[in-house]
Every structure is written in C-alpha cells, then in structure tokens.
C-alpha cells in the first residue's frame, strides 16, 4: 500500500443494532487470523519473520482494543459480557504465544544485519518479552511459571474482591451531616433512630471527611474506611507478595520490584527507593509549612488538638481553601457549561497541536451520546476519535481513554475513545481538568498512529511515562487566558482572571504534604514487595512514620484496602515519576503564550508522534535538548502559594 490517504475508519454497527455478530467477527476473526499466522511463523523465511510478527500483533491488538472498550461502554449487558469473554480469550492467546518455544525460535532466527534501527528495536523488545515470560526456561520452570501466573491472577482478584465486597458501614448522628452539600444530605436520610448509615465508598466517605464538622464521626468513618479488606486481605496480600517474589526469582531477578522495573524508565528496583527518598526530602519543607497552617486553623475549633491526622486533614484543607483562598466551588461551576467546555477543549488542543477536528455526525457508535470527529494534521486524516462523556447504567464509571484501533501506516487509521462521566449541564473545574488530562492520552494515541510497527503505535512508551503528557496538558486547564477563551457564564462573561488565580492558589495549597502522602503509598507498594514482612501492619505503620506528615489513627490497616497493590504492584511511584517529567516538559513552554507554535509543534512531533519508537528518556531529551531532570518539579514544590 502507499500512504494512508485511502484508508477508511472501521465501520461500526449503529446504536441499537445487534452488535453481537459484529463483535464476535471483529475479535474472534482477528484471533483466528493471528493463530493462523502463529502456526506459520516457523515456516517463514527468516527475513520475513519480523514482518509476519508485526501482522500477527496488529490482529491481536485489534482484538484486545475492541473487546476491552466494548466491555466497558456498550449499553447492553449481554454485549458487555460477550466482550469480557473475548478479552479473556485474547489474554489466553497472548499468554500461550509468549510461552511458545517455536515462535520464540522463529523470531530468534531473524537476521539482524539487514534490519533498520526501528526493526532492530522491535526485535529486541519482542525477544525481551519472550524471555520475561520465561519461554527460554526448561519445561519444569515454564510449568512452574504458568502455575505462579495463575495463582497470581487468583490472588490479585481475591484482593480486589476483598475490598469491593467489604460492605462496612458507620452509623453517625444526623447532626454530623451539618456542612455537607444539600443534595448529598438529601441522599442520606436518617433512620427511625435519628442516625445516618454511611458506606465506605468514595462518594460517601470523601464528601463526609471534607465537610462534616463532627470530629468524632469523622474519626469513626475513617477508621472503617482504613479497615477495608481487614483481616482477610492481610493473608491474601502476604501470599501475593510471596508468589510475585518467587516468580521474579525464577526469572533471575533478586525481587519482584526489580523484575517489574526492568521495562520501565526507572530501570531497576533500587532506583525506586532512591526516587521516593529524594521526593520525600524535596517536599518536606513545603509539607511542614502547610501542615502548620492546617494545625493552626484546627486549634481554633479544638485548642487541645495535637496533630493533623488522616481523620481531619481533608476537612481542614477544605476550610483553609475556603477561608484563606476564597474559592467558592458554587461560583466556579457557573463558568463551565458542558457544551462550551467540549468545544473549548477541541479549539484549544486544535490550536495547540495544529490539528483539525471535523465532526462526523452520521458516524455509527454504540450510543447516541457519542460524538465522533475525524482528526487531521496538515490535510492528512490521522484517524477518528469518539467522545462518550456522560454517565449511563452499566458504563465504566471512571475516566479513561480506550483504543478502538491502533494506527499503523498504510494499514489502518488510529481510532480512540474518551470514556468519562460528566454532567450534561454545569461541570466542576476538576472535571474540566480531568477532561484535558484524558484528552492528552487520546491525542497521543492518534498522533502516534503512523508507524509501520504496531509495537510503536499510540501510547506505547514505558508505563512510568504514559501519564506525563496528560499531566502536562492539565496545565492548559489552569491557565486564565486559555480558560477565558471558552469558560463563560450564562450571560457570556468569561471567567475572571483573578478567580482563576485564587483557584490556582487553593489548588497549590497542600502540595508538599500531599507529595509526602504519595511517597508513603509508593514506599508501601515498593517496600512490601521487597521485604515481604511477616507483620505487614507493623511495617506499614513504620513507613507511615517515615514518610507521611499526616498522622495515622490507631487500629487501622491501610494495606488491606490499598487496591493499587493489585494493579501497580511495586510501582505506585509511577504517578509521581510522570509528574516530575510533566513539570520538566512544561518548562519548555512560554508561560505568557501557551500556544506558541515552536515548543508546541516540537513537542507534538518529538514526543507524542514518536509513540514507542524510542525510549521515553530519549523522546524527552529530543524535545528539551537535554536529559530530563527534577529541577522544575522542585521549584514548583518550593513556590509558596500566591498571596493569601
């Protein structure tokens, strides 16, 4: 094929049509073709093997993408379940493939002297994936690895289930609801005894911990929350840590964290400890400064209070933001009407990256809420994006970007979807920030969709880098000029600059102690995998003392409810790691003109469009003209919030 101009987006069934047969063909058809290719890999000429491997992975990626998307967004439960089943099949295919000695042998035989740099990289990464799966180990080790994998999946699921199914409640007097928003109070009526029962879910816990003025009730609610999964998950976690450790050792690594870090920017387990300690040191001063402000304010209510702890920090942070930074969330939201925000997002990112979005009103999708746009750059269509932004029953209830099709030059256009849950009317500013964040992933997916190798397509960089572009794009949602271009109230008045300044100052308050709390989480995630302590509770309390500036409360067990130990395992540091790089990337932009084409286009071409074709550290260095560092992040931490 030549060029991508004749490529067409994937055609989907219409909303309300029968998606079953289409979904089955898209996934099982792709897996069947991939299976066919797998069986013939060994017969290929060595010179053709890598190309065949790429074609196989295009099929596999297509199956994965559509199954994981549809499982989360389709309005019909039966279709979502069918998609989940197809996801399991794709996963099984992948596991078997990576433990297939014949496939490994075929790829290992590929001649390296004729490969260009990109092909060389694909080959190296693929052989590394094979070795990390254990394909080159003896049969006994491979079967042990298979067993450990299965046990790890079971334990990880049990750990999540232990949190999800722990329906703990706390009873508080109706008077404890004083200070909470009216609609929240209306949703929490008191029983015959005059008490209100609260669950440990976020929608109950977070507003209560933020707004309730009843210190005793807050403490009891937080105690319940921090005992989620206790005691069952303690043993589950103990075994999960042991299984992961054994898995890593079988593959020649000293510990799980080191095995996991090998394919990340951070590179080795020991570097995680160094990173955590350096961020903890850098945030100490700012953290202490803001904790002192919280304590001073708390003493106005309770002169005897000794410390800011996990049961009162959120409340006093809110009080300080309201009283000292004068940010009224009710006033802020009048400027963020959904329809204007969505158009604003497209205008802002279009201008920034030189992209054009053409709405495709007749593009079929799974639901009528979904809007579709063709994205082009310099007249060339890069792909199609879909925005699915409002809640509905059975839909994924967080915010995320999903792939629909990974773009491959001359083969298929990039297509991606934003899945969020915003109101149809006025939005909170937090929602606007989330929208910009997630759109950062989507634009990354589309811009990096013109590589020959599917391995490099889209958000294909190391896992501890993927958040950085999105975290950086959040800055545009905090800029007064940018916001004024689309955030207008019902009379058409743009959001005032001084309100944005106060919003920013309020947001900045607490960044030091919040960084310390993040480092406590990161230390728990890393240290538990490294040390596998017998008494996990005791070790977690020590780590709490070492890192968190917010005091713990007695008789709680943070680790049994820390769900990220399942997905992130030892790598919870990644969020902060990306944040450090995001601040460094942003330092190259002109703060007085965030749209300046020089840095914006260089960033688009050198970082985003490059996808996974280089190591993330090299992409960042290409853009910045130097290796990345933590200077911008440290300067940001040290900056006091603006005049209060």
Contact 502/326 with Cβ under 8 angstroms? yes
What's the Cα-to-Cα distance from 229 to each of 61, 160, 397, rounded to whole Å? 35, 9, 22
Minimal distance in Å, beta carbon 348 to Zn ion? Answer: 18
CB of 478 vs Zn ion, minimal distance in Å: 16
* Minimum CB distance to Zn ion, residue 176 (Å): 35
Token reading at 500: 């944005």
Binding mask 468-497 for Zn ion (x = CB under 5 A): --x---------------------------
Phi, psi torsion values for 337, nearest 5 degrees = -80, 130
Q: Nearest Cα to 445, choosing from 410, 413, 406?
A: 406
Paired sense of beta strands 371-377 and 380-388, if any: antiparallel
Output 470 or 569, the one with its CB closest to Zn ion: 470
Total chain residues near Zn ion (CB under 5 A): 2
The answer to whether the CB of 505 falls within 8 A of the CB of 619 is: no
Nearer to Zn ion, 27 or 69 (CB): 69
Q: Shortest approach of Zn ion to residue 188 CB, angstroms?
A: 31
Q: Min. distance of Cβ 463 from Zn ion in angstroms?
A: 11
What minimum distance in Å lies between the beta carbon of 401 and Zn ion?
A: 7
Please state the three-class secondary structure of 559-592 as a single string. HHHCCHHHHCCCCCCHHHHHHHHHHHHHCCCECC
Cβ-contact 517, 576 below 8 angstroms? no
Neighbours of 19 (CB within 10 A): 23
The angle, 0 to 180 degrees and rounded to 10, between the axes of the packed helices 20-40 and 49-73 is 160
Per CB under 5 A, contacts with Zn ion among 493-532 are none
In the numeric block, the tokens 């089955």 are attached to: 24
Backbone angles phi, psi at 641, to 5 degrees: -55, 150
Q: Considering the complex, what minimum distance in angstroms separates the CB of residue 441 from Zn ion?
A: 6
In this structure, are strands 414-419 and 380-388 parallel, antiparallel, or unpaired?
parallel
In whole angstroms, the minimum distance from the beta carbon of 398 to Zn ion comes to: 10
Please say which residue, 291 or 620, places its beta carbon nearer to Zn ion. Answer: 620
Nearer to Zn ion, 63 or 608 (CB): 608
Q: Under rule CB under 5 A, which residues in 439-468 are in contact with Zn ion? A: 467
3-state secondary structure of 348: helix
- β 195-199/400-405 pair status: unpaired
Cis preceding-peptide flag for 231 (omega within 30 of 0): yes
Closer of 92 and 398 to Zn ion (Cβ): 398
In the complex with Zn ion, the residue whose CB is nearer, 82 or 574, is 574
Of residues 133-172, those binding Zn ion (CB under 5 A)? none
Least Å distance between CB 265 and Zn ion? 16
Report, in Å, the least distance between residue 437 CB and Zn ion: 6
Task: Please report how close the Cβ of residue 472 comes to Zn ion at its closest, in angstroms.
Answer: 11
Q: Nearest to residue 412, comparing CAs of 441, 445, 449?
A: 449
Q: Report the residue closest to Zn ion, judged by CB.
A: 470
Question: Smallest gap, in angstroms, from Cβ of residue 578 to Zn ion?
Answer: 9
Closest contact distance (angstroms) between CB of 575 and Zn ion is 9
Least distance in angstroms from the C-beta of 467 to Zn ion:
5
CA 169 vs CA 172, 227, 628, 637: distances in Å: 10, 11, 46, 37
Of residues 54 and 470, the one with the C-beta less far from Zn ion:
470
Place of tokens 């920090």: 313
- Binding characters for Zn ion, 259-278, by CB under 5 A (x = yes): --------------------
User: Taking a C-beta distance cutoff of 8 angstroms, is the pair 172, 196 a contact?
Assistant: yes
Touching Zn ion, residues 206-225 (CB under 5 A): none
Element (H, E) at 429: helix 429-447
Name the token pair of 438.
């997630």
Q: What radius of gyration do the chain's Cα atoms show?
A: 25
Q: 505 Cβ partners below 8 Å, 6+ apart? A: 325, 641, 642, 643, 644
Nearer to Zn ion, 290 or 467 (CB): 467
In whole angstroms, what separates CA 560 from the centre of its chain?
A: 21
Which CB atom, from 184 or from 575, has the smaller least distance to Zn ion? Answer: 575
**Identity of the residue, 398 or 601, whose beta carbon is nearer to Zn ion in the bound complex:** 398
Measured between alpha carbons, how far is 418 from 401 in angstroms, rounded to an integer?
5
Whichever of 470 and 560 has its CB closer to Zn ion, that residue is: 470
The Cα 562–Cα 520 span in angstroms is 12
* Cβ contacts of 266 within 8 Å, gap of 6 or more: 272, 275, 464, 573, 577
**Shortest distance in whole angstroms from residue 308 CB to Zn ion:** 29
Give residue 321's Cα distance to chain centre.
27
Q: 470 or 525: whose CB is closer to Zn ion?
A: 470
Distance in angstroms (rounded) separating the CA atoms of residues 623 and 621: 5
User: What three-state secondary structure class fits 413?
Assistant: coil
- CB-wise, 470 or 517, nearer to Zn ion? 470
Q: Comparing C-alpha atoms, which of 450, 447, 434 is closest to residue 353?
A: 447
Distance CA 98, CA 121 (A): 18
Q: For Zn ion, give the closer residue by CB, 71 or 442.
A: 442
Q: How far is the CB of 469 from Zn ion (least distance, A)?
A: 9
Closer residue to Zn ion, CB minimum distance, 412 or 470: 470
Residue number, 464 or 467, with CB nearest to Zn ion: 467
Contact positions toward Zn ion, by CB under 5 A?
467, 470
């Amino acid at each position: 094929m030549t060029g991508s101009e004749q490529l067409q987006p994937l055609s989907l069934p219409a909303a309300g049509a029968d998606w079953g047969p289409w979904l089955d063909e898209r996934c099982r058809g792709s897996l069947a073709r991939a299976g066919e290719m797998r069986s013939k890999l060994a017969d290929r000429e060595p010179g053709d093997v890598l190309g065949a491997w790429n074609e196989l992975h295009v099929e596999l990626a297509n199956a994965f993408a559509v199954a994981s998307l549809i499982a989360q967004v389709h309005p019909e439960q039966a279709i979502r379940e069918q998609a989940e089943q197809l996801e399991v099949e794709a996963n099984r295919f992948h596991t078997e493939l990576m433990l297939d000695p014949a496939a490994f042998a075929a790829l290992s035989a590929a001649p390296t002297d004729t490969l260009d740099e990109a092909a060389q990289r694909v080959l190296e990464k693929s052989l590394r994936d094979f070795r990390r799966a254990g394909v080159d180990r003896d049969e006994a080790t491979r079967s042990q690895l298979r067993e450990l994998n299965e046990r790890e999946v079971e334990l990880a699921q049990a750990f999540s289930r232990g949190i999800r199914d722990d329906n703990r409640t706390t009873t508080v007097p109706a008077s404890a609801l004083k200070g909470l928003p009216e609609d929240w109070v209306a949703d929490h009526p008191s029983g015959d005894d005059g008490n209100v029962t609260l669950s440990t879910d976020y929608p109950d816990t977070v507003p209560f911990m933020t707004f309730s003025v009843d210190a005793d009730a807050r403490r009891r609610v937080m105690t319940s929350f921090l005992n989620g999964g206790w005691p069952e998950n303690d043993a589950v976690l103990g075994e999960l840590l042991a299984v992961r450790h054994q898995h890593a050792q079988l593959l020649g690594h000293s510990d799980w964290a080191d095995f996991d870090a090998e394919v990340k920017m951070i590179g080795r387990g020991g570097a995680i400890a160094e990173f955590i300690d350096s961020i903890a040191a850098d945030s100490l001063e700012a953290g202490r400064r803001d904790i002192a402000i919280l304590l001073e304010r708390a003493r106005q209510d309770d002169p005897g209070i000794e410390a800011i702890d996990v049961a009162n920090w959120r409340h006093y942070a809110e009080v300080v933001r309201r009283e000292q930074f004068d940010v009224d969330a009710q006033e802020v939201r009048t400027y963020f009407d959904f329809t204007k925000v969505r158009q604003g997002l497209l205008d802002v990112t279009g201008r920034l990256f030189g992209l054009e979005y053409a709405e495709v009103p007749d593009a079929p999708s799974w639901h009528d809420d979904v809007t579709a746009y063709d994205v082009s750059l310099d007249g060339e269509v890069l792909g199609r994006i879909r925005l699915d932004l409002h809640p509905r029953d059975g839909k994924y209830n967080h915010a995320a970007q999903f792939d629909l099709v990974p773009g491959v030059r001359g083969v298929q256009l990039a297509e991606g979807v934003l899945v969020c849950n915003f109101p149809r009317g006025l939005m909170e500013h937090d929602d606007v920030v989330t929208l910009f964040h997630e759109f950062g992933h989507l634009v990354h997916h589309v811009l990096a969709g013109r590589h020959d190798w599917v391995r490099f397509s889209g958000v294909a960089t190391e896992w501890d880098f993927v958040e950085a572009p999105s975290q950086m794009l959040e800055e545009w949602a905090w800029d007064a000029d940018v916001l004024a271009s689309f955030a207008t109230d019902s009379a058409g008045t743009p959001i005032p600059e001084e309100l944005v300044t106060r919003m920013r100052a309020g947001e900045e308050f607490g960044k030091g102690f919040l960084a310390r709390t993040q480092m406590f989480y990161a230390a728990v995630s890393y240290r538990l995998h490294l040390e596998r302590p017998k008494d996990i509770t005791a070790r977690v309390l020590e780590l709490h003392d070492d890192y968190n500036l917010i005091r713990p409360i007695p008789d709680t067990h943070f680790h049994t409810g820390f769900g990220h130990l399942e997905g992130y395992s030892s790598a919870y540091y990644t969020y902060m790691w990306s944040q450090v790089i995001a601040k460094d990337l942003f330092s190259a932009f002109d703060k007085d003109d965030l749209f300046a084409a020089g840095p914006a286009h260089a960033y688009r071409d050198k970082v985003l469009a490059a996808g996974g074709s280089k190591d993330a550290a090299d992409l960042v260095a290409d853009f910045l003209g130097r290796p990345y560092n933590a200077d911008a992040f440290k300067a940001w931490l040290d900056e006091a919030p603006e005049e209060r």
